[in-house]
Structure 1
């Protein structure tokens, strides 16, 4: 795994607002932050209504807010906050675990981080608890948060579900028009005419399935938030493939992949050994997977391997992708504390591909991107709100071209 970097010194105290109906948990946090010179608690609220009022009066740098509270819960308060007074917010919960849909809801609604209270209280070493929460607040204070529209609408406002993608196949025997949904076609071993029962010959050429361009994304802590702002807006007809390597445990990456797929236009897949890459798809891998791409005949297949000394998982996948697709590759580094991606970005640049770093103001952890800026040639620093269109433009610029293995 890649090296981790410590947080640098702060020049001013961070003002913190604690929002939790639990007196016990507020006291735990108060005791922790009173032992550090980095953070100053400027107020405490017991519900979302009080929190919104205090935010306007006190203007905190960071908010720690519980999800479950009376009068107004944390999620509702977060949505109001991100519309009217965007502020870096860390969401806590004793009922919701990290890596669940509700935790990702909080991040999508604007939270910069999510923490399960049980993960702290079950840890017998209070020193680890203290260090982690202080670091999270320090990281959060450096993020610039912008307005976020609420994720959930009223039931009456929810648009109808769009029709599932389908193919129309005409029978050569009787001329009947047959409609097959994409999922139905995958389940059937053979397609037969619904009118005469004749076996249908299918010769489909889907230009979006070709791999004409690949964007490889490397990210760590804070990356879930970045990806939830970037990937959902990418259409499924973008062409080429998008690969993201996330520094986190496999089970959380599994859950995130399912969540991201549910809120995205493009199909999002969990990367696994033996998967063949297809255009119009996004693939998510954990840093523990250690994956690389190997061309087999006309297929581009993902393989797992043991960790290679000197190469992080982001380096590994970037190197393997650019060795095949040459200049039809973009490497993008988002939020992360791991110093990975340097060799991969340099390999992409050596093949005349594109290197990109996300604006540090959008990163919970800036170390990964800052390391790339220091040691690599970077073509562009992109803002989070522009990243989606930037990726779309990269892929559509080469639309109609293909890369042969």
Structure 2
């Protein structure tokens, strides 16, 4: 929605060490580091840099700057590490150093929590084009639902940056090396975006009896959180994580949404289709037990509007979309992952609402609800539809564009997930 691997071997080159990393497996968490199990506590689906979004730095990149990013983890542990991606970079990415800390207010961090991160015991390293790397484990205890701050110092011109464009969390930058800055004074509110750069995951060291508790929400901008509050952590996967914690069933919930994403088409503006990135964003993580799929609204709607950002926009049939969903289900089942199908939201009043798109939504939702091909169903449509006109979002759930929910709508969506349906 707008508003807005090939397998290959890559060399990760720290200053003092040489490590061999295979993209596709490098981003999947290993079962252990020493005697400790690692669990992904936060992740973002990486994208190529793109124009057409609200202010972001992805195309210009960085040069002799520090980038400070704040994310909330949904699992806790006694140690923590980060993962960085140069998947869409045009040149090798040099990182002169990184820190992690417990977040304070704004760009500030909690005193005494700053930890310098190393990569193969070296502070500096270079990530080749298409490469990705994990830091060593840092001795920092984090709790579920706490925010952590990651600061990277990028000493050379990076070129276009691998990114997640619609992060809805404030990212700061400042000239020079400010990794150790604790009060945030080096970073100002005037030089910020709500995108993430290079940071693809945060892992924690946590011993879990059930090693396949992780839930991944796969989808487009409605999963990504368009219309939710900036820095509020109230996207529907955030709200689902909070529901699980309140119910005494805490587990990691990861957001693999990309705004504008489609089930059947790759997009130069918004990223690869769900099937293309399924392995990277879901299947390569051995902790995933359940995937929630919400996808197809853009495939349906983009063909109704002639906009450059919506292309390719072929007229997709409901049969085409069902085939795409079946492929996602089959590939997840092959990995032993349970799949929850989510119904598409109503969008009457949105720019690509037509009688044809409304009929496709109705038919696809009927298949999701009744076919039995999904292991369970989350009826998001019913949760947010206006009872007086089921083709519309409820007014108190509408962010204003008639297709994206607001914070209350995202909470209602999370409430429609049967917690017992999650493995």
Pair member with larger Rg: 1
Judging by fraction of residues, say which structure has more helix: 1
TM over 0.5: no
Please report the TM-score for the alignment, with normalisation by the length of structure 2.
0.31
Please report the TM-score for the alignment, with normalisation by the length of structure 1.
0.32
Structure with higher RCO (Cα < 8 A, 6+ apart): 2
Judging by fraction of residues, say which structure has more strand: 2
